[in-house]
Amino acid sequence: MKTHTLLIHAPKINDRFGPLGDAMSINYLAVGLPALGGAVESTGRSVEILHLGVQRVAEPGFDLEAEVRKLRPTIVGFSLHWHPQTWDTVQAIRAVRRGAPEAFIVLGGFTASAMHQEILETVPEVDGIIRGDGETALVALADALDTSSPLGGVPNLTFRTATGIEENPVSSLSTANSISGLDYERFDLIRHHKRYINEFCGAFYIPHRRPQAALMKVGQKLFGGAGGRTMILPAGRGCSVTCGWCGGGRLSHKKFHGRKNWIQVSPGRTAALIARSTELGFDEVQACFDPTPKDPSHWIEVARIVKASGVRTKMYFESYAIPDPELVDALVDSFESVLISMSPESPEERVRRRFRPMHFSNDDLVEAVQMCADKGANVMLCFGQGLPGEGMKTPAAATKLVQRCRKAAKGVRLQCRSFAIEMEPGSPWALRPEAYGIELSRRTFRDYIDAHRPDAPADLGYRIKGSDDQFAMEIREATCKEMCPLPPSPRLGHLTCKALGAFSPSTGCSG
């Protein structure tokens, strides 16, 4: 048996999440991966995508080393997109190298692009890294390997030579037209793709233990929440701004992917993907690309075409600031139900302004919640935990802000999510920690491997200068009491958390 190109996604198998205890995270594939496989397949080469989390449940005892020995791939491409995948991905790379010594092992995705030189220096099993957009470059790599041509002509590739590491320029950059023509719906290239859609495209964490998993399912059935089969829309690339903590902002895209601006998939193609989502078995779609919240014409046009097509599904729209009322009208008019998320990140306006160029005030937020509620859209608020600049008064400010929003959200459902923000490679505060008042505990690729190994101590990758443990605990307590992401509501979720914690007493919240 021979598969020409094997694309692999390794989730973080040994993660932990509050009341759920041991759980698997990073369950979504990069949305561009099925399209990448489709691009290679359209050149007449056989392609398969393996999700190592799906493999774990669908083929217990699955052995990657034995599998690649059998498949004998020419190229094995790892999607090292999200940094929490680092340890698991490196383990999988080693297994592939043992089973397929002749295969060309290439990496792509955000983390791989930001740390390309270092990865080649640290992991000898890796042959090359494609930075930024992958479609044209991966096909060019396949062409070069199949014809034994020099790799110096493969765009975006950093690769190992007999004498060192060579870096080809990022000369292949996709355009708005080219990304609108890609086959994002090629889920059929994923082995056990129905299982992927049914079990992995929803909850952020998949508990290892059965009681937690079963209880979560019941909770989600009764109260809803993240857990439906969600198709993430591949809506665009790049970003219009640079947020302080984000590894995917405008600055990072320019530095690592060669993209100075942002591009969007055309409204017609986006609407067609929304229609495909229902045929593929998804319950809802999620739009997480909103570079111009002040000019909502693009998404209004998407909503108009969806309505005209007669397709009905649910929409979870991540607004990059606060949404325009006309957009909310268009979404509510076109979708079965609408959930709009907004990310104040910090209740302190000063801190928010420092990290988010698309600023809005607390009053703007409360008004926007009320506007959404008046129009019948549910609301999700996303907070960070313990950003530099926050202090002992922050927990009380957070409580007050959530209470104001709750009052404004009459007649609709208000959910909250609150995550401690982790260090990401290539983000502005990783590049200039002193400017943000932090000290890094994660800098190198080796640090990222160590930070995500199964037995690693909890660490966000930085320490805020001058902060103490008492402050961290108070923030966590306020979060548990007022912003719990678990059903039935931000204020009562801590009861569900306690119930879940009863199955694993060492976990659970402080609320």
Is residue 207 a contact point for ligand SF4 (CB under 6 A)?
A: no
Return the number of the residue (203 or 239) whose C-beta is nearest ligand SF4.
239
Q: Which among 483, 480, 487 is positioned nearest to 508, based on CA atoms?
A: 480
Interacting partner of 371 out of ligand SF4, ligand B12, none (Cβ under 5 to 8 A depending on kind):
none
- Candidates 34-42, 114-122, 171-179, 237-245; binding stretch for ligand SF4 (CB under 6 A): 237-245
Per-residue string for binding with ligand B12, 166-205, x by CB under 6 A? --------------------------------------x-
* Ordered DSSP codes for 360-426: --HHHHHHHHHHHHHHT-EEEEEEESS-BTB-TTHHHHHHHHHHHHHHH-TTS-EEEEEEPPPP-TT
- For the bound state, the minimum distance from the C-beta of residue 426 to ligand SF4, rounded and expressed in Å, comes to 11
Residues in contact with ligand SF4, total (CB under 6 A)? 8
Element spanning 16, H or E:
strand 12-17
Name the token pair of 70. 């059998």
Residues in 307-346 at the binding interface with ligand SF4, rule: CB under 6 A: 320
Residue 471 beta carbon to ligand B12: minimum distance, rounded to whole angstroms = 22
**Min CB(292)–ligand SF4 separation in Å:** 11
Tokens read off for 486: 């678990």
Whether residue 379 contacts residue 416, with contact meaning beta carbons closer than 8 Å, is answered with: no
Q: Which of 17, 110, 383, 445 binds ligand B12 (CB under 6 A)?
A: 110
Kindly state whether residue 246 participates in binding ligand B12, applying the rule CB under 6 A. yes
Report if residue 105 touches ligand B12, rule: CB under 6 A: no
d(CA 494, CA 508) in angstroms, rounded, equals: 9
Contacts of 163 (CB under 8 A, 6+ apart): none
Instruction: Please choose which of ligand B12, ligand SF4, none residue 32 contacts, taking the beta carbon within 5 to 8 angstroms, the exact cut-off set by kind.
Output: ligand B12
Quick one: which of 115, 231, 246, 273 contacts ligand SF4 (CB under 6 A)?
246
Q: Which is nearer to ligand B12, 370 or 427 (CB)?
A: 427
- By the rule CB under 6 A, 77 interacts with ligand B12: yes
**243 near ligand SF4, rule: CB under 6 A:** yes
Ramachandran assignment for 359, one of left (phi > 0), alpha (psi -120 to 50 degrees), beta (any other): beta
Structure tokens at 66: 């034995």
Strand partners, 317: 287, 340
Give residue 306's identity as a one-letter amino acid code: V
Cβ contact 236:263 at 8 Å: yes
Instruction: Give the amino acid at 157.
Output: L
Please identify, using beta-carbon distances, which residue of 21 and 370 lies nearer to ligand B12.
21
Selected from 88, 127, 135, 349, the binder of ligand B12 by CB under 6 A is 135
> Which of 424, 429, 479, 481 is in the footprint of ligand B12 by CB under 6 A?
424
Q: Note whether 53 binds ligand SF4 by CB under 6 A.
A: no
* Binding flag, residue 292, ligand SF4 (CB under 6 A): no
Query: Considering only 187-195, 234-242, 302-310, 487-495, which stretch makes contact with ligand B12 by CB under 6 A?
Result: 234-242
Q: Which does 242 bind (CB under 5 to 8 A by kind): ligand B12, ligand SF4, none?
A: ligand SF4
360 is an interface residue for ligand SF4 by CB under 6 A: no
In 280-376, the DSSP E strands lie at 284-287, 314-318, 337-345
Write phi, then psi, for 252 (nearest 5 degrees): -65, -40
Interface pick for ligand B12 out of 18, 99, 234, 347 (rule CB under 6 A): 234
Residue 159 interacting entry, from ligand B12, ligand SF4, none, C-beta within 5 to 8 Å by type:
none
For 275, counting Cβ atoms within 10 Å of its Cβ (0-12 exposed, 13-18 middle, 19+ buried), the class is: middle
Using CB under 6 A as the binding rule, whether residue 127 contacts ligand B12 is answered as no
By CB under 6 A, residue 83 contacts ligand B12? yes
Which of 378, 360, 386 lies closest to 477 in space, CA to CA?
A: 386
Q: Which residue in the block uniquely carries the two structure tokens 């809506």?
A: 235
* Measured distance CA(500)–CA(511) in Å, rounded: 13
Of the candidates 505, 507, 484, 506, the residue with the CA atom closest to the CA atom of residue 496 = 484
- Interface positions with ligand SF4 (CB under 6 A): 239, 241-243, 246, 248-249, 320
- Interface positions with ligand B12 (CB under 6 A): 7, 26-28, 30-33, 36, 77-79, 81-84, 106, 108-111, 114, 130, 133-135, 138, 204, 232, 234, 237, 239, 246-248, 288-289, 419, 424-425
